Amino acid sequence: MPITRRRALAGVGALLASASHAQASVDVFDGFAGTRVHFADVDAGRALLMADDEWMRATSEFQRRAVMGSATPVTLDAFRRWNGDSVHPWTDELRARWRRALERLAPSFGSLRIPLPAEVLLIASNGQESARAPYTRAHGVVLPGPVVSPGYSDPMLMAHELWHVAARHAPALATRLYAEMGFEPIAELQFPSQWAGVRIANPDAPSNRHAMRVAIEGRRAWVTPVLVAMRTELQADETFFSVMEPRLLEVVPGANGAPSLAAQRQDGQPLWHPLDGPHEYLRRLGGNTGYVIHHEEAMADNVALLVTGQRARNPELLARIKTALAASR
């Protein structure tokens, strides 16, 4: 049969359609019930990382300057562009690496019924916007370059980050799980103005809507963890992680629609305590992780331990988390 122009064009079209379908299959993981995980293209990744979301609005001028390595003030628009410019295409090697992690996690996420949104984006980054640390924004998980996270296997790291997405998607469930570590909901904290210039906002947990009631200095007080910079000048080899200090801020929970406020010392400065001070903060977090700068980070590690089936120093806490997940439906 002679090859006509129409047949030739039809053949080319079929080949292109087949290639497009194959690429779509590579770029999407659908092993989570009700959720499609996309290996985001550059445009989709840029749109998410440049979004004017809760974290972007919470960043201080110091944090923006430290992230960009700038000695002069950085505008919010310039910071947005810096975040967007960090996105790059997925390589076949990295896509295959994280697909293996997803395949390992999907059955456990399903059996534990951890809720994820209908779409999750995995975004490849060069790490310039995060000191090469993985993190989340909205429904996206950002993985900088060839991620190296000491103490975390790929499935453990992915489970940790996916929990952040799940917690954002299902905040009522997150609140029930935080209660297993002693945290109760409060009106959102109005970050103390005295520390506004040195605030370091965590993209995984940019706000404080939960607090723990602890015994300290012979009294009971509400505390919640916040991040600030110990100093605002960085040496040549330092990042914002080098100067980041977690503090337990005493708070006065808001009532009748008012925000929660920082308790103050007599000199007008916010009243705070070290995380390892003479109180029960660390004990009530359960002891399964050293990532205790925020209850959301501690919970993400506990969920990751549960999902991956790793041994924990406090298996009772994991059992309570598992029960709370099952009871949430």
Separation of alpha carbons 82 and 87, rounded Å: 10
Does residue 329 carry a pLDDT above 80?
A: no
Place of tokens 């300057």: 65
Please give the average per-residue pLDDT across 24-41, as a whole number: 92
* pLDDT grade for 67, boundaries at 50, 70 and 90: very high
Residue 2 placed within a domain: no
Residue 8 placed within a domain: no
Separation of alpha carbons 151 and 284, rounded Å: 22
Q: Angle of helix 92-112 relative to helix 295-308, nearest 10 degrees? A: 90
Considering its fold, how many domains does the chain have in total?
2
Percent of the chain with pLDDT over 90: 89
**What local confidence, expressed as pLDDT, does residue 26 receive?**
81
pLDDT tens per residue across span 271-323: 999 999 999 999 999 999 999 999 999 999 999 999 999 999 999 999 999 99
Does residue 15 carry a pLDDT above 60?
A: no
**What local confidence, expressed as pLDDT, does residue 104 receive?**
98
Does residue 328 carry a pLDDT above 80?
A: no
Q: Are residues 300 and 207 in the same domain?
A: yes
**Helices within 184-262 (DSSP H only):** 240-243
pLDDT tens per residue across span 233-263: 999 999 999 999 999 999 999 999 999 999 9
* pLDDT grade for 147, boundaries at 50, 70 and 90: confident
Question: Token pair of 275, please?
Answer: 């995380």
Given the DSSP bridges, would you call strands 272-273 and 140-144 parallel, antiparallel or unpaired? unpaired
Q: Are residues 142 and 219 in the same domain?
A: no
Residue 9 placed within a domain: no
Strand partners of residue 13: none
Please give the average per-residue pLDDT across 214-218, as a whole number: 95
Which among 170, 194, 220 is the end of a domain?
A: 170
Question: Token pair of 167, please?
Answer: 């917690």
Helix or strand run (H / E) with residue 48: helix 42-49
Does residue 2 carry a pLDDT above 70?
A: no
Q: Are residues 159 and 209 in the same domain?
A: no
Residue 58 placed within a domain: yes
Q: Are residues 157 and 229 in the same domain?
A: no
Contact present, 174 and 199 (Cβ < 8 Å) = no
Q: Are residues 160 and 203 in the same domain?
A: no
Range of the domain at 106: 27-170
Q: Are residues 61 and 90 in the same domain?
A: yes
Q: Are residues 317 and 187 in the same domain?
A: yes
